[in-house]
Structure formats: structure tokens, C-alpha cells
Homo-oligomer: A and B are copies of this chain.
Amino acid sequence: MTTEIWISQLQDNGYRITSARRAVVDTVYGSTHALTPIEVYDKARKKYRALGLVTVYRTLEKLEELHLIQRVHQPIGCQAFISAGVGHQHLLLCQNCGQVEFFDGDDLDALTKNISRKTGYQIKEHWLQLFGLCINCK
């Protein structure tokens, strides 16, 4: 998997491929840490000097819309993004260095059935995030 996949996704959806967009894609794709718009801007500008912050916002918007990236919610803030996982996945975040990992294999069926019965809610989806310390930080 390479950044070209994101590039063709953009292309296939009628978006033009520009140097600005390439710089943003190259920066966000494959990052192990969630990045805020400003962080993306600072990193991407090393690859493409003329880049504007506005274009970072606009590109992140499109990548999110195409489900190529996803927003990361944290106690400190909820405006950082990371490459989206494939299929149904959850996040594991390092509280110290901000590293992000995906995991799957949670089985919440019993739980949701139980809660559904107790509350009368029809449960549609769930968010599960784990926080801790990565190998380097613990």
C-alpha cells in the first residue's frame, strides 16, 4: 500500500492532483501519530514550500470524506487525524508520545445486547478507544 492509492482515490472522485495535495497526502499517509492541521502544514511545507494552511484544511476535509483518514478524539483535543483503518477497527493511543495503533477483535455483542435489553435502545454503533503507554514510553 502506497500513497498512490490515496492519490487515485482523489482522482477517481473527480479531484485534481496537485503538488499541494501530494504534499498533504505524503505527510498524513503512514504517519504513526495523529496530526493536527497545523502539524500537517508544518511537515508538508518541507516538501512543498508554497503550501497554504487553507489547502491543508481543504485536503483533510476531502480525505475524511473519502474515509481515507479519521479524526482522533483525545482528552486534550479532537482535531487530529490519522490514516483510517481498514474495516471495523479501534484505536490504542500512547498517552505519552501520541503514537496510535489499531486493533480489532473486540467482541461487544454480549454487552450491547445486554445494554439494549436494559435500556430499550436500538444500538447502532460503538466507539472504543484504549489509552496507555507504548513499548518505548512505558
Contacts and interface: CB of A to CB of B under 8 A. Distances in A.
Give the bracket for the number of chain A residues in contact with chain B.
35 or more
A111 B115 contact: no
Nearest to A75: B71
Contacts of A116: 132
Given A127-B127, A127-B129, A94 B73 contact: no
Contacts of A131: 123-127
A2 to B, nearest CB: 24
B134 A112 contact: no
Contact of A111 (B78, B101, B106): B106
Nearest to A94: B121
A15 to B, nearest CB: 23
Interface of A: 73, 78, 92, 94-95, 101, 103, 105-108, 111-112, 114-116, 118-135, 138
